[in-house]
Amino acid sequence: MTEHVRVRFAPSPTGHLHIGGARTAVYNWAFARRHGGTFVLRIEDTDPERSTEENTQAILRAMEWLGLDHDEGPDVGGPYGPYRQTERAHLYADALERLKERGSVYPCFCTPEELERKREEARARGGFAGYDRTCRLIPQEEAQRRIESGEPHTWRLKVPLERGDVVFDDLVRGEMRFPISAIDDLIVVRSDGTPTYNFAVAVDDATMRITHVIRGDDHISNTPKQILIYEALGLEPPEFAHLSMIWGPDGKRLSKRHGATSVEAYREMGYLPVALLNYLALLGWSLDGETTVIDRDTLVANFSLERVSRNPAIFDAEKLEWLNGVYIRQMSAEEFVERMVPVLVEAGLLRAEEVAARREWLLALAPLVSERIKRLDEIVAMVRFLFEDVAIDDRAREAVLAKPGAATALAAAREALSGVASWDAPSIEAALRPLPERLGMKPKAVFQALRVAVTGTTVSPPLFESLELLGRERSLARIEAAQPLAAE
């Protein structure tokens, strides 16, 4: 690739960044970085009713969280700004002037009612449902006179009927062909002077010098229209790459029915940005057909549109969760503490000012937790017993403490633990290991009773380490408190 690659991600701020949009952003970003190009963020906020600044900010935050840095955009500026469509009215006006000069557009005076009537007639005939091109035949002087008299009008593209099919070589899907006869004389500027969607996008991509348009294939029917606008402006269209849809496991387009769909929801559920980036990168692109864990640098070094699949990608929430667990387990204790502390503070288990003093303790806790969770939002339930007294959960009581021998096990454990000289996991283990044999009980029965007494549940980090972290006094007090609840 000799030209300087310029790609863009162009979200409409009508909602938060969702999985499909994020994947489009990842591919644009990776393509730009792979080719030493420029990644532009453009906000398509022309729908005034549904676009909000709050959504724009949420999209920016989600991209930053994922590590998708852009080189030009509304927040960082750049040489081809502004980067919000609502601020680009003058550029659409200039482009319309150019189309007028080139004789590529004509004013259309048909009223909405007339257009509706024509559409209905066309439907009844079963013919071409587009505009019947009545106003294309109005002589220029007459049109000019009607405009000057203030008659409301839109501007339509004069589709070159003699041109032949619109063909482009999609970088993912191969040759795409659209018969010119099926393309409407589309409106480029409405009667209120605002540009239509396709006009704004084509003008923006042209004026922002975009070389590759990488977007969802729900836009594929817009592409021939945008190509005709480029041609009408006398410009060379960019390359196009249309990404297949993302489906839920049931083969239907991914939607809220399938669970969380926004990037923000995944952040809140305790996903790591690297894990989500990794997952999205492989949702329709593959390194070699096998690799499932791939870091940012490998992605950037290898991304290519040739390896993007034409088939719909299936969103597999379990695989994403598994991948998140892989990344959590890869973290060092220091890294995990960084992640764990805000979660604990937020849950009210730890105060920010205690963190420094408890650092060693937190570092010891980190691996016990990180090896057992797939999402950061599982931390709180797993460690709550270390921070506050927890009631023993009913199921654990029934299943474990109600078993004969539980009280004997707890009494013996308490006695053995009172004699432990140095309160650390190996010494605790050495004191407790001989108990089952001595009591003639199964190890599981003894240790589960102890686990329930101390943690309140049957699932917790490893027992001996948990006792160490809980401390001698609290451990012994909890065993004592549980004894009356246990069966003899």
Catalytic residues: 256
Does position 99 interact with ligand GLU (CB under 6 A)? The reply is no
Among 201, 228, 277, 294, binds ligand GLU (CB under 6 A): 201
Write down the least CB distance from residue 195 to ligand GLU, Å: 13
| CA neighbor of 365 nearest in space, from 384, 346, 389, 348 | 384
**Nearer to ligand GLU by C-beta: 44 or 468?**
44
- Residue 214 phi/psi, 5-degree rounding, is -110, 115
Q: Which stretch binds ligand GLU (CB under 6 A): 7-15, 387-395, 396-404, 450-458?
A: 7-15
As given in the structure block, the two tokens for residue 26 are: 């990842």
**Nearer to ligand GLU by C-beta: 44 or 239?**
44
Write down the least CB distance from residue 120 to ligand GLU, Å: 30
Does position 215 interact with ligand GLU (CB under 6 A)? The reply is yes
Among 5, 11, 308, 324, binds ligand GLU (CB under 6 A): 11
Instruction: Please give the size of the binding site for ligand GLU, defined by CB under 6 A.
Output: 7
Q: Which stretch binds ligand GLU (CB under 6 A): 6-14, 178-186, 389-397, 420-428?
A: 6-14
Does position 12 interact with ligand GLU (CB under 6 A)? The reply is yes
| CA neighbor of 466 nearest in space, from 390, 410, 383 | 383
Write down the least CB distance from residue 163 to ligand GLU, Å: 22
Does position 243 interact with ligand GLU (CB under 6 A)? The reply is no
CA–CA distance, 443 with 437 (Å, rounded to integer) = 8
**Nearer to ligand GLU by C-beta: 12 or 261?**
12
List Cβ<8 Å contacts ≥24 apart for 296-305: 296/67, 299/30, 300/30, 300/33, 300/34, 301/34, 302/34, 303/27, 303/30, 303/31, 303/33, 303/34, 304/34, 305/27, 305/31, 305/171, 305/172, 305/214, 305/241
Write down the least CB distance from residue 62 to ligand GLU, Å: 14
Among 5, 7, 10, 171, binds ligand GLU (CB under 6 A): 10
Does position 219 interact with ligand GLU (CB under 6 A)? The reply is yes
Q: Which stretch binds ligand GLU (CB under 6 A): 4-12, 126-134, 382-390, 480-488?
A: 4-12
Residues in CB range of 13: below 8 A, 6 or more apart: 43, 44, 45, 51, 52, 53, 55, 56, 59
| CA neighbor of 354 nearest in space, from 337, 367, 334, 370 | 337
Does position 44 interact with ligand GLU (CB under 6 A)? The reply is yes
**Nearer to ligand GLU by C-beta: 64 or 218?**
218
CA–CA distance, 120 with 135 (Å, rounded to integer) = 18
Q: Which stretch binds ligand GLU (CB under 6 A): 9-17, 270-278, 327-335, 461-469?
A: 9-17
Helix (H, G, I), strand (E, B) or coil at 444: helix
CA–CA distance, 488 with 486 (Å, rounded to integer) = 7
Write down the least CB distance from residue 461 to ligand GLU, Å: 44
**Nearer to ligand GLU by C-beta: 201 or 407?**
201
**Nearer to ligand GLU by C-beta: 43 or 486?**
43
Torsion sign (Cα): 59, 62, 66, 68: positive
CB-count burial class (<10 Å; 0-12, 13-18, 19+) for 312: middle
Number of residue whose CB is nearest ligand GLU: 215
| CA distances for 237 relative to 30, 222, 481, 488, angstroms | 22, 13, 76, 82
**Where do contacts with ligand GLU occur on this chain (CB under 6 A)?**
10-12, 44, 201, 215, 219
